Chain A
């Protein structure tokens, strides 16, 4: 492992797996309809453009069909100059409507930001096309799309950490034990959302324990803050990306268990762009192949 940031060279199979998996995430993050929503407090793109037309189920269905067409082009790596801007615009429009009914959620932004990064990377590569012409130019352009996607993911965690420090004037450590109240709140809210199902006694016990052990809680929770703060480390190579990605997944699993808060799209994108399972499977496959060959050679020699 090198202590210098570097672009990871992904092979064709990894890149194809990433395209397919990301396309599935993009298809899933857009709801089947926005008809149940009202635009009462326009947010984001809805402040600039009247998005009421998206509340019409028939119009939105056409938008989704076009999204699927764009996703097919994206997976096949054809017509990205049309597909990527459309995917990004539709994602931002749907997300803006979702956040324009008086309540702002934070589970979709990461997908839209990664799409923004991919679109920017694609057009940046087009601008530099003459300078980067050559046999591996297409692969290099896709490398840039992946690297910028990783940076968008990293940015969301870095921003989250910086906001904690800014809003508490650096005193997050001392405030963090008050998370006990939030644990009670989020678990109660979950209970009202799933009347009758689920177990909530442990949350109450955890909250009580936190209140009784503020110093220890501060240390444990500050580890989470530190994890977010060092997010750029994921850009230092495959090993760093995978190790950091797995740490984030553990962090999310803990938050989900204790606070009943699930950031599903964050987790999907971490699996795809940081942990990158296909690479490790390929690596293991090749290592097993080499070992078998070595065993075969040894058997012949003996």
Chain B
């Protein structure tokens, strides 16, 4: 047994870091790297448009890429569901709109948005696209989540 442990000694950093990442999970600099570790039969993303439904580059506008925007929205939705003690998928369109409006209001206070001043769109819309696998076909269902002026 002692011999086996001695053989593992050169790997101590690997073993320690692996254990730390799996146990501590998402606390920087540690991570269990959960991206694409499991898959469901549906997923979604969100994006921004102006009042005329023209897509906007969120990175330039509010300093967040589209994937980051989705993660932030996702986190807000999870918090809302927890607060209301209801499963996320059962949130009503009104409840989702409230979350979306809060997010859009926050985006308008980001440094790039404030610096844009008058160039910032008067109306900001948050769109949701649900992607589902239905009967062996991939289908997209877009919907408007929220709008702020």
Contact = CB atoms under 8 A, between A and B. Distances in A.
Interface of A: 5, 7, 35-38, 40-41, 43-47, 91-92, 95-96, 98-99, 101-106, 108-109, 112-113, 116-117, 120-121, 147-148, 151-152, 154-156, 158-160, 162-164, 166-168, 172, 175-176, 178-182, 184-186, 188-190, 192-195, 207-208, 211-212, 232, 235
A195 B14 CA distance: 42
Contact of B14 (A109, A154, A188): A154
Contacts of A168: 37-38
A41 B73 CA distance: 13
Contacts of A103: 64, 68-69, 71-72, 75
Interface residues of B, number: 57
A43 B29 CA distance: 9
Contacts of A117: 13, 17
A106 B35 contact: yes
Contact of B22 (A120, A152, A162, A188): A162
Interface string B97-131: 00000000010001110000000000000000101
Which 3 residue pairs across A and B have the least CB separation, nearest first? A44-B28, A103-B71, A112-B29
Contacts of B110: 36, 38
B30 A44 contact: yes
A43 B26 contact: yes
A189 to B, nearest CB: 4
Contacts of B87: none
B82 interface: no
B59 A193 contact: yes
A155 B28 contact: no
A158 B111 CA distance: 38
Interface centre among B21, B31, B75 (most CB of A within 10 A): B31
Interface of B: 10-11, 13-14, 17-18, 21-22, 26-45, 47, 55, 57-59, 63-72, 75-76, 106, 110-112, 129, 131-133, 136-138, 140
Given A117-B13, A164-B38, A193 B138 contact: no
Given A105-B68, A189-B45, A163 B22 contact: yes
B38 A167 contact: yes
7 contacts: A7-B10, A47-B27, A96-B29, A181-B40, A181-B42, A184-B140, A232-B11
A175 B40 CA distance: 8
A164 B7 CA distance: 27
Contacts of A176: 39
Given A5-B11, A162-B22, A193-B59, A179 B28 contact: no
Nearest to A97: B28
Contacts of A166: 22, 37
Contact of A35 (B10, B13, B111): B111
A46 to B, nearest CB: 8
Contact of B67 (A47, A102, A189, A212): A189
Contact of A158 (B18, B42, B47, B69): B18
A156 B131 CA distance: 30
Contact of B58 (A38, A99, A192): A192
